[in-house]
Amino acid sequence: MNMTDRKLVVIGGDAAGMSAASKVRREHPEREIVVFERGRHTSYAACGMPYYIAGQIDSAEKLVARAPKVFREKQRIDVRTRHEVVAIDTTNRRVRVRDLDAIREFEESWDDLLIATGAAPIVPDLPNIRAPGVFSLSTLQSGIDVFEDIERHAPRRAVIVGGGYIGIEMAEALLDRDLEVTLIDMAPQLMNTMDPDMADGIAKAMRDAGVELFLEEALKTIETGPDGRVRQLTTDQRRLDADLVILGIGIRPASELAKPAGIELGAAGAIRVDRQMRTSVPNVWAAGDCAESFHIVKEEPTFIALGTVANKHGLVAGINLSGGDVEFPGVLGTAITRFEDLEIARTGLSEKEARDMGIAYRAKTIEALTRSHYFPGAAKIKVKLVVEEGTGRVLGGQIVGRAGAAKRIDTIAAAITARMTAEQVAYLDLAYAPPFSPVWDPVQTAARTLS
């Protein structure tokens, strides 16, 4: 069958799905492409939701890169929102679809299928976990729901469950909305992807801003008032008043369609794919947060749910679905966030990960300034590097600091990808001017201590 004659069905209309569909359309202007999306929106910036909730972005529409109507009219991609795929038949190459508005089901045929269903928030099985005032952030609509709830009910006390990226960003957002904010986490530190010595500074900044932090405490119950809305929750150590609860416990790959269809699962229950985003079943592909990735340092499959990764997955899948031949090179888990003016970033292996892998390593942490010491606005930055013992190869890095600190993580990510040593990083020809960096950039200062 000619590639142009192969009908493509995509399940999921966000980053990975629409990146792939758009690439296929550019390569094959006449090919039939159908996208099923169970929500109302396509191609939106989920990472921007906390800033919309905070009021820093004045419209949810600004988070939409391309609306369904644009895909339909300008790219001739048949995008059907409020359509949920409920089953995949790989033998007869059909999907069963539920039209959520018309309340009917039908089947759609395909020659090639791309699963791009994303990730779903982890929601504990507790009574009242879905009571009014309790939210998980995943889709753009969930962010809109939180914003509208705050506008309508004017809550005064918020409790955030989970101290990862969503928890930290939502703490800032809710402080901006003048709420009293408490954050609980069952772990002994915030940001488990970082080492404790780097996470300590995040906790201090949050407490200094007025956030109550209760670590090593697990959520036990959620209690509601006479109106059915959340009023309190309890941990294993205390009772907390709450008019608003944000669950940021974590996410899981939304891969539940795969296993009944005979499609193999891999790391953390994500859909197993090769480097070209092919699944274990011919003509079925997967990309984005529902699919596993290859970790460049660990050299094994991993589950990394990030918008940057999803877009790249989608592009690779789209190229190969168009008849190309490319491989996804892998991930490092490079991530960046902030709490107010404190910037936070990490990439590669933490010390804990290196220990768990049995790697002999060395690690050093340095403190420096983001600019020349005499230049106005010079701020503190803390950089940690992890290198392989013996070779000096850079394995990971973490950064916590004020304005201008965190994007330096990209230098470390590039160095890890290139398999550079700490000594090579120390002698990189990086840019310098007093408004941007000391003569020795803090990343290079850290590298010098390990070279």
**Is 47 noted as a catalytic residue in this protein?**
yes
Q: For 300-357, what is each residue's pLDDT tens digit?
A: 999 999 999 999 999 999 999 999 999 999 999 999 999 999 999 999 999 999 999 9
| Cβ neighbours of residue 268 closer than 8 Å, sequence gap 6 or more | 252, 253, 292, 302, 303
In the chain, count H helices and then E strands: 11, 25
Rg (CA), the chain: 23
Q: What confidence tens digit (pLDDT) does each residue in 222-260 have?
A: 999 999 999 999 999 999 999 999 999 999 999 999 999
Q: Give 146-155 pLDDT, tens digit per residue.
A: 999 999 999 9
Average pLDDT, the chain: 96
- The 8 Å CB, 24+ separation contacts for 97-103 are 97/36, 100/38
pTM of the model: 0.94
pLDDT of residue 118 exceeding 90: yes
- 187/192 Cα distance (integer angstroms): 8
pLDDT tens profile 250-286: 999 999 999 999 999 999 999 999 999 999 999 999 9
- Mind listing the domains of the chain with CATH numbers? 3-120+252-321 (3.50.50.60), 123-249 (3.50.50.60), 335-448 (3.50.50.60)
pLDDT at 322: 96
CA-CA-CA-CA torsion sign (146, 220, 200, 295): negative
Placement of tokens 């936070």 in the chain = 344
Instruction: With cut-offs at 50, 70 and 90, classify the pLDDT of residue 121.
Output: very high
Q: Which of 47, 65, 215, 357 is catalytic?
A: 47
